[in-house]
Structure 1
Amino acid sequence: MSAVADRDGATWFGQPRGLTILFLTQMWELFSYYGMRTLLVYYMTKQLLFAQDKASFIYGTYTAMAYLTPILGGAIADRWLGKRNAVVIGGSIMAIGHFVMAFEPMFYVALATIALGNGLFLPSLPSQINDLYAADDPRRGRAYNVYYVGLNVGGLLAPLVCGTLGELYGWHYGFGAAGVGMFLGLVIYLAGRRYLPPEPQRFVQPVATPRDVRRGHHKVWWLLLGVGIAATIFRGAYEQIGNTLPLWIDTGVDRAWLGFTIPMTWFQSLNPLLVISMTPLLLMAWRRRADAGRESSPATRMAIGALVVAAAYVLLATVTALAGGTRVDWLWVVAFFVILTLGELYILPTGLGLFAKLAPPRLGATTVASWFLAIFSGSLLAGLVGTLWSKASHPAFFLLLAGLATVAAALLWRLDRPIRSLP
């Protein structure tokens, strides 16, 4: 094993102990990110009194920038800081940004600060997962789904804690709780450093690379670009769950249940709750398929996920069309999230693992950052698509999102054979 912590063969939950440290750290980072994101659109439209299209565009731009800065941050981590230092510095900057959100005049400064810190933090943490395993370790392929479950615990807690504080006691209490979550993540990371993999060598003198190896690297980058374009289109639809979907839940969904009105932000906990509950079952099914020699390739799995997400939006289009302008029952929102989460589990952890697996030597953080570049462009696309919410009927808007996910699926299927041909 390449990890220092695993020389004695000890594991937690059947995985290297460092994986637990990494996903607990990311769990609290996701708690802070989703805690703030849960409140962001509501805060802009209800407190700052921004128009819906302006709030949607700012939301999309912010989430896009939070995933653009990792490109530079990943390069800085690989070349100069190292992954561990990048995580600590980036997390500290993000914690400061979350606390600054408590001050209305500093709104844009706070968003920029969080995005900058995320640039160092985000690519440097998951890029350490591969280094926990030997190249032939069969656990490595499923590690990203296990990691995805851990970080979604933070996504589950965030709307319940930050969203409830923001709705009931004031927006700034919710933003402050997000900052506390980021601080807890840093404490866990520093306390568990001995279980993490060693830093790869930096400042290495470049050596001549054989022409066929360079050609192979170029092919990898082109294929990753294609996957990134597909992921961009997909996220233009997927990211509406934090943008326009909350607006629909607020005004178009009957949230009454047993004399109690379900808070808007609680629905944002459905997605991570379903990730946590559905992932073990999905991993069991995939393992059985692998044992039977019928395991799907990464690109095929991602394409299936995009089609499932398209089906989720077709469901919303159908329900809103049949409702004819009246509020729909909140159980349809639950059904939507069940279908959408199933598709998400097929595509998002698989995409992250694919980028990490194909990373050239000593470029782990940079390559993983390239996956987050697709999230940047997809979030920006989602912001632009979100501006159409108030200009189109709800059924037409949801069908548009289904169409985007279907286009992404078609592109991923087209890339499947070239990816499988890689050594």
Structure 2
Amino acid sequence: MRSQHSPDDIVKSIPQTGFFGHPKGLSTLFFTEFWERFSYYGMRAILLYYMYYEVTQGGLGINQTTANSIMAIYGSLVYMSGIIGGWIADRILGTARTVFYGGILIMIGHIILALPMGITALFTSMAFIVLGTGLLKPNVGSLVGDLYSKKDPRRDSGFSIYYMGINMGAFIAPYIVGTVGETYSFHLGFGIAALGMFIGLVVYVITRRKYLGLAGVNVPNPLTKKEKSTYASVTAAAALIIAVIGWLGFSGGWLTVERVIFFISILGIIIPTVYFIMMFKSKKTTAEERSRLLAYIPLFIAAMMFWAIQEQGSTILATYANERTQLNFLGLELKASWFQSLNPLFIIIFAPVFAWLWTKLGDRQPSVSQKFSFGLIFAGLSFIVMIFPAYFNGTESLVSPLWLVLSFFLVVMGELLLSPVGLSATTKLAPVAFAAQMMSLWNLSNASAQAINAQVVRFYSPETEVVYFGVIGAVAILLGIILLMLSPKLKKFMMGIK
């Protein structure tokens, strides 16, 4: 069994200055994640259009409603796969090697998508990118934590810089990949996304040993020889069964894309439910921790509702940008994919403002559940405002792009109220025995939301636009108000956690 290095040994092995006063390893992880997000969000900016554009326009000609459902399920699987990535890092490879292999899989996925091989390439590339992102995404964040000692005052600032790298990559990607994809060729756009991940891997490989030292080398809970044999057999058998069922199902015509989507949508509800029940009933969970878990359930439901709206920025609002929006504005020729840059742009601008505000308010700031409530209300408002263009002008005429800008702005205000707070609350309310799994559960709030979205987006069309945005927006606002009313009660259930 490989020897385990102590946190102090890991920190000592890393050059502690060299990147804006932070450990040099932060630059490695900053640019690795920058390029990974560039590749992912660049691909995502044009993937929906590639799916539903006609073959004569360089697309696959998939029904637009089905394409929106596939996008939602794709996003759901990306978040679900983080559970696998965490397990592999903890039990087999360690975080550093898991990140590398994840990047390789992501790059292969984008390369496959860049080849003109039709719908087979689409689903094959999705499998690679889902698995690769699951390996890379959660473990890069873990590596950032390894750079600092627990008491290092630079720790929170380091995560903020890292978070900025994520959003910078997501911000510029639609302008580059989106423009190339929409103007010249979708496949060329996907090729640029693959190049982005390749650059990220090169940065990681060249600088890893020098700047990351022993970070991510440990395998915290390695498999025994017996477990390795058992898991290898189970994995091989499961892969074979899935392959056989898939081949028989698709060749026989009874396993359709719609049925696969429906099955994954159901999983999106079942998996977090099982997680909650397992933790709540565990003998390792104390009575106090059970009380905190009960307080967490309304927060989880609120997060699901929020992400169900926020993630429609890449499906319904992306469709709206392409089909219902004036793309000639103030003498500028806009691309529909550019609207995908609004979310990271607003986060880059306003995240420091919110961080300053919470510091300024100190003990006077709203409680966790109140912040969630306001975040949910902002998300609801981001859909309510989308009623007005159709209500005043009908659905036949194109609308000003400023409506989309306003909608993205409102949902980002909600995200800054809910997302960072949700991460913090998850760590505070987690039972000690399930600290890591609780973070996986938080990520499942997004996976579950997108799994549900795969069914919900089927109800959207220009004709149902007002009802669609109105009902979803109103439900979010109503849930936000209910959560606000429950805040004093939830505070008691949190047992002293603020």
TM-score (norm 1): 0.87
1:363 & 1:201 partners in 2: Cα distance? 18
1:246 & 1:402 partners in 2: Cα distance? 17
* 1:309 counterpart = 2:316: no
2:156 & 2:496 partners in 1: Cα distance? 18
| 1:39 match | 46
* 1:351 counterpart = 2:412: no
How far is the alpha carbon of 1:154 from its aligned partner? 1.0
| 2:244 match | none
Counting only pairs closer than 5 Å after superposition, residues 368-383 of structure 1 correspond to structure 2 as: 368-383=439-454
1:94 & 1:360 partners in 2: Cα distance? 33
1:284 & 1:419 partners in 2: Cα distance? 25
Counting only pairs closer than 5 Å after superposition, residues 80-159 of structure 1 correspond to structure 2 as: 80-102=92-114, 103-104=117-118, 105-135=120-150, 140=155, 144-159=159-174
Q: Which 10-residue stretch deviates more, 342-351 or 154-163?
A: 342-351
* 1:288 counterpart = 2:360: yes
Counting only pairs closer than 5 Å after superposition, residues 41-60 of structure 1 correspond to structure 2 as: 41-46=48-53, 47-60=59-72
Distance 1:359 1:314, change over 3 A: same
Q: Which 10-residue stretch deviates more, 355-364 or 400-409?
A: 355-364
Contact 2:289 2:429 in 1 (8 A): no
Select 1:186's aligned residue among 195, 201, 205: 201
1:367 & 1:216 partners in 2: Cα distance? 16
Contact 1:100 1:110 in 2 (8 A): yes
How far is the alpha carbon of 1:38 from its aligned partner? 0.9
* 1:67 counterpart = 2:79: yes
1:319 & 1:420 partners in 2: Cα distance? 46
2:141 & 2:364 partners in 1: Cα distance? 28
Identity in percent: 32
The number of residues matched between the two structures is 417
| 1:78 match | 90
Deviations 1:296-351 (A, max 9, x none): 44443333222222222222222331222322211222222222222222222332
How far is the alpha carbon of 1:282 from its aligned partner? 2.5
Contact 1:78 1:362 in 2 (8 A): no
Select 2:34's aligned residue among 15, 27, 44: 27
| 2:17 match | 10
Give 5+ residue unaligned stretches, structure 1: none
Contact 2:302 2:376 in 1 (8 A): no
| 1:406 match | 477
Distance 1:348 1:24, change over 3 A: farther
Distance 1:9 1:174, change over 3 A: closer
| 1:421 match | 496
Distance 1:5 1:192, change over 3 A: farther
1:262 & 1:320 partners in 2: Cα distance? 21
How far is the alpha carbon of 1:110 from its aligned partner? 0.9
Q: RCO greater where, 1 or 2, for CA within 8 Å and sep 6 or more?
A: 1
Q: Which 10-residue stretch deviates more, 245-254 or 325-334?
A: 325-334
How far is the alpha carbon of 1:8 from its aligned partner? 7.1
Root mean square deviation of aligned Cα:
3.1
Give 5+ residue unaligned stretches, structure 2: 1-6, 54-58, 224-281
* 1:202 counterpart = 2:208: no
How far is the alpha carbon of 1:242 from its aligned partner? 0.3
Contact 1:64 1:376 in 2 (8 A): yes
Contact 2:93 2:219 in 1 (8 A): no
How far is the alpha carbon of 1:163 from its aligned partner? 0.7
2:300 partner amino acid: G
1:256 partner amino acid: N
Give the SS at the match of 1:125: helix
Deviations 1:127-174 (A, max 9, x none): 334444454556555655543322011111111111111111101011
| 2:311 match | 239
Deviations 1:41-97 (A, max 9, x none): 101110111112111111111111111111122122222221112111112111111
Distance 1:246 1:213, change over 3 A: closer
Q: Which 10-residue stretch deviates more, 100-109 or 52-61?
A: 100-109
Contact 1:254 1:328 in 2 (8 A): yes
1:397 & 1:138 partners in 2: Cα distance? 47
Contact 2:38 2:173 in 1 (8 A): yes
